[in-house]
Structure 1
Amino acid sequence: MRRHYTCIHQLFTPMATRLHLFILAFIAFSVNGICNAQSVAKTDTLTAIQLKPYGRYMYNQQHNLELISSAVHFGVSFTGEECAVYVSLADTNAHNYLQYELDGVYQKKLRFNGNSKAPIVISATPGKHTIWFYKATEAHTGAIIIEKVAANKVTPLSVQKLPLIEFIGNSITCGAAADASEVPCSTGSYHDQHNAYMAYGPRVARALKANFVLSSVSGIGIYRTWNMDSPSMPQVYENVDFQVAQQQKWDFNTYSPKIVSIALGTNDISRGDGVHARKPFDTAVYEAHFVKFIQLVKTKYPKAQIALLSSPMVKGESGKILENCLRSIKTKIDALYPKDKPVATFFFPPMDSHGCSGHPSVEDHAILAEQLNPFFKKLLKDQ
């Protein structure tokens, strides 16, 4: 009987072992599946439509977010060590730049290529974080397309409710040719040295706890460009991306600025490139176009304070001519709108620029912002 029992035990041992291994494998698979599910659950996703951008932007037919204007920005909060932003460009052969703040501290510019499939990944220490992304370049560089943002417990952030200043201007307002820290002057593409975050407008806004929008185009003026007769800012201001051919208009009900700062004249008074025919600067034409443009702005923002800025790059006799024009424009607008707040004017001291191609550098923009802070502080206080 003992021997019979032994034979039966030997017969069923392999079957029991196989059953045991199957059970262990099933448990391991199940546990691994649960772990993987938990890992996936830790990466949440915000679609572009859920983000809350600030500046000029639009949503395309794929419901992706197109960042258009200089320093247009959006923010998210997340928990963990990584945040991934899925970006692209309409031109796969092009490249562009974002820049970002992490937990309130500016970090750096981020270059990416239009044909890249991988997201931009921001690394952080373990914990809860806030991050704000800014477009470093201007509208004419092309839109930066945001598809989604992925991170653990990622949540969209709204811009704090603060007084808004809209800065209308040219390449100086864009922060163009200001940053040669990574790509030296006279090399690469024009937008490689853009740094909108460090331009004077955003600096003033941050210092005075205000919001900002940059409506700026390199080379543009009130009635002509730096070397050609058109386009001018009045021709493109209403178009969403400041392009002449653009049919889609910007919705001016999106924001209500307390102050509209206009710094245009550097390119109107420019002597040009020596290639295209150019007439001398016409003060009458400049003033007439400027008055009409301010009237256009007033139709968009009837309650906004208008502020006119001179150019730190225009010196000597040209600088005096430009300042006299701005004084005359102020007088004309104040007479046309006697019940509105008088137009404010600010005249920069002449500056020797240290950026590329005669533009202010990042460090120069810090000086410009310091000069402007008391001026805008008073205007905000008087609102």
Structure 2
Amino acid sequence: MKNSILSTFILFIFCSLHSHAKTKVDTIYAADLQPIGRTLINNQHNLALITSGAHFGFSFKGNECAIYVSIADAGGHNYLQYELDGIYQKRIRVDGNLKEPIIIKTNSIGSHRIWIYKATEATSGALLFSKVAGEGVKSLSAPKLPLIEFIGNSITCGAAADDSEIPCGTGDYQDHHNAYMAYGPRVARALNVNFILSSVSGIGVYRTWNRDSPSMPLVYENANFQEKDSLKWDFKTYQPKIISIALGTNDMSNGDGSARAPFDTVRFVNDYVKFVQLVKSKYPKAQIALLSSPMIKGNSREILQRCLSRIKATADTTYPKDRPVATFFFEPMEAHGCSGHPSVADHQILAEELKPFFAGLLKQ
């Protein structure tokens, strides 16, 4: 009888310990995550991923982890996307009324590494992360690699590129964003460098695609890329090796049919030169690279290329001791994404064009 009771007690203890080991969960809170991109810790102590492609990583053991994420707009939605053990997985919709964590499962038990990315741009609202939970979860820091900052418009954002879940012409603007698959992050992954995206849909050097403002020079210093944003970005956060600027598509746009003045080459060049000076004031050691637009064709393409050449010449004269400004002119493209934008597949073509160019700059 005593032996039976003792055996039952030992079995109970063993099962309890085994159950506890199976359910052991560790937690990383927002302040201990190590993001890259324009991010901040807000008043609620959440990590806000602001810009396209802003990301953070962590490792865990077992076959699942929990992501505690929300957005400020209770009636809205946004998207994150993730990479698991070096392989891209998918986008995940984050609804404003989300109450439970997002559970990410794996096909195998063991050690895993995840990188979480913001799929959408700053104007779509921030993704707010309070914590990450999982067995043995640990925060990952970005590898110590050169950094490229990609400044641009909707193309650089990866906007209107992905219709794999929601067809073009339906849904909301953010439903077709895919920052991970945009040309900048693709180039960065191919060349083994870090990246940040500083991009806003519709924006230009001196006007937007259908209005006179805001322009990139007006919003670049603001953390959220909003014209009236009082929160300024701390440019000491990163020291990019290369600053890639791809602007001009929207300055040259015919807009949405409303009255619009013809493209002003003089103002474009002057304002662009001032913007280059602003960027160089933030990052005096960075290599500046000016990119044209794959969306602009014919005579307009020639005009934009001549403007960029003049901007380069002026900047090189102004900063004779610095590395010369580099220029890259895309081949014209027939885009296959939504509303005339490059698709996910088109972005791969753009990235392949750009890889030798940036590889050369990284060697300097």
Pairwise same-fold verdict (TM > 0.5): yes
Amino acid at match of 2:49: L
CA-CA distance at 1:79 after TM superposition? 0.3
- Looking at structure 2, the residues matched to 160 and 119 of structure 1 have their Cα atoms a distance apart, in angstroms, of 27
Q: Does 1:170 pair with 2:153?
A: yes
The sequence identity of aligned pairs, in percent, is 65
Which residue in the other structure is 2:230 paired with? Answer: 247
Bigger-Rg structure (1/2): 1
Distance 1:204 1:171, change over 3 A: same
CA-CA distance at 1:28 after TM superposition? 8.5
Deviations 1:346-373 (A, max 9, x none): 0001000000000000000000000000
CA-CA distance at 1:32 after TM superposition? 6.8
Q: Does 1:201 pair with 2:191?
A: no
Which residue in the other structure is 2:32 paired with? Answer: 50
- Looking at structure 2, the residues matched to 57 and 267 of structure 1 have their Cα atoms a distance apart, in angstroms, of 26
CA-CA distance at 1:118 after TM superposition? 1.1
Which residue in the other structure is 1:325 paired with? Answer: 307
Which residue in the other structure is 1:86 paired with? Answer: 68
- Looking at structure 2, the residues matched to 324 and 61 of structure 1 have their Cα atoms a distance apart, in angstroms, of 47
Deviations 1:132-165 (A, max 9, x none): 1110000000000001000000000011111100
- Looking at structure 2, the residues matched to 167 and 298 of structure 1 have their Cα atoms a distance apart, in angstroms, of 14
Query: How many residues are treated as equivalent by the alignment?
Result: 362
Q: How does 1:1-383 map to 2 (within 5 A)?
A: 34=17, 37-40=20-23, 42-124=24-106, 125-275=108-258, 277-382=259-364
- Looking at structure 1, the residues matched to 94 and 38 of structure 2 have their Cα atoms a distance apart, in angstroms, of 21
- Looking at structure 2, the residues matched to 65 and 315 of structure 1 have their Cα atoms a distance apart, in angstroms, of 41
User: Secondary structure of the residue that 1:321 maps to in structure 2?
Assistant: helix
User: Secondary structure of the residue that 1:83 maps to in structure 2?
Assistant: strand
Amino acid at match of 1:134: Y
CA-CA distance at 1:39 after TM superposition? 4.4
- Looking at structure 2, the residues matched to 284 and 184 of structure 1 have their Cα atoms a distance apart, in angstroms, of 40
- Looking at structure 2, the residues matched to 99 and 62 of structure 1 have their Cα atoms a distance apart, in angstroms, of 23
- Looking at structure 2, the residues matched to 337 and 350 of structure 1 have their Cα atoms a distance apart, in angstroms, of 31
Deviations 1:181-230 (A, max 9, x none): 00000000011010000000000011111110000000000000000000
User: Secondary structure of the residue that 1:290 maps to in structure 2?
Assistant: helix
- Looking at structure 1, the residues matched to 137 and 190 of structure 2 have their Cα atoms a distance apart, in angstroms, of 28
- Note if contact 2:71-2:94 (Cα within 8 Å) is conserved in structure 1: no
- Looking at structure 2, the residues matched to 39 and 105 of structure 1 have their Cα atoms a distance apart, in angstroms, of 26
Amino acid at match of 1:180: D
- Looking at structure 2, the residues matched to 48 and 339 of structure 1 have their Cα atoms a distance apart, in angstroms, of 42
Q: Gapped runs of 5+ residues in structure 1? A: 1-15
Deviations 1:19-64 (A, max 9, x none): x99x999989877765554444x21010011100000001111111
User: Secondary structure of the residue that 2:254 maps to in structure 1?
Assistant: coil
User: Secondary structure of the residue that 2:347 maps to in structure 1?
Assistant: helix
- Looking at structure 2, the residues matched to 137 and 291 of structure 1 have their Cα atoms a distance apart, in angstroms, of 29
- Looking at structure 1, the residues matched to 7 and 231 of structure 2 have their Cα atoms a distance apart, in angstroms, of 63
CA-CA distance at 1:289 after TM superposition? 0.6
CA RMSD after TM alignment: 1.8
- Looking at structure 1, the residues matched to 327 and 65 of structure 2 have their Cα atoms a distance apart, in angstroms, of 43
- Looking at structure 2, the residues matched to 240 and 26 of structure 1 have their Cα atoms a distance apart, in angstroms, of 60
Which residue in the other structure is 1:7 paired with? Answer: none
Amino acid at match of 2:143: Q
User: Secondary structure of the residue that 1:117 maps to in structure 2?
Assistant: coil
CA-CA distance at 1:68 after TM superposition? 0.4
User: Secondary structure of the residue that 1:173 maps to in structure 2?
Assistant: helix
Which residue in the other structure is 1:10 paired with? Answer: none
- Note if contact 2:56-2:117 (Cα within 8 Å) is conserved in structure 1: yes
TM-score of the two chains, using structure 1 as the length reference: 0.91
TM-score of the two chains, using structure 2 as the length reference: 0.96
User: Secondary structure of the residue that 1:368 maps to in structure 2?
Assistant: helix
- Looking at structure 2, the residues matched to 363 and 357 of structure 1 have their Cα atoms a distance apart, in angstroms, of 15
- Looking at structure 2, the residues matched to 156 and 282 of structure 1 have their Cα atoms a distance apart, in angstroms, of 49
- Looking at structure 1, the residues matched to 348 and 173 of structure 2 have their Cα atoms a distance apart, in angstroms, of 21
User: Secondary structure of the residue that 1:101 maps to in structure 2?
Assistant: strand
User: Secondary structure of the residue that 1:92 maps to in structure 2?
Assistant: coil
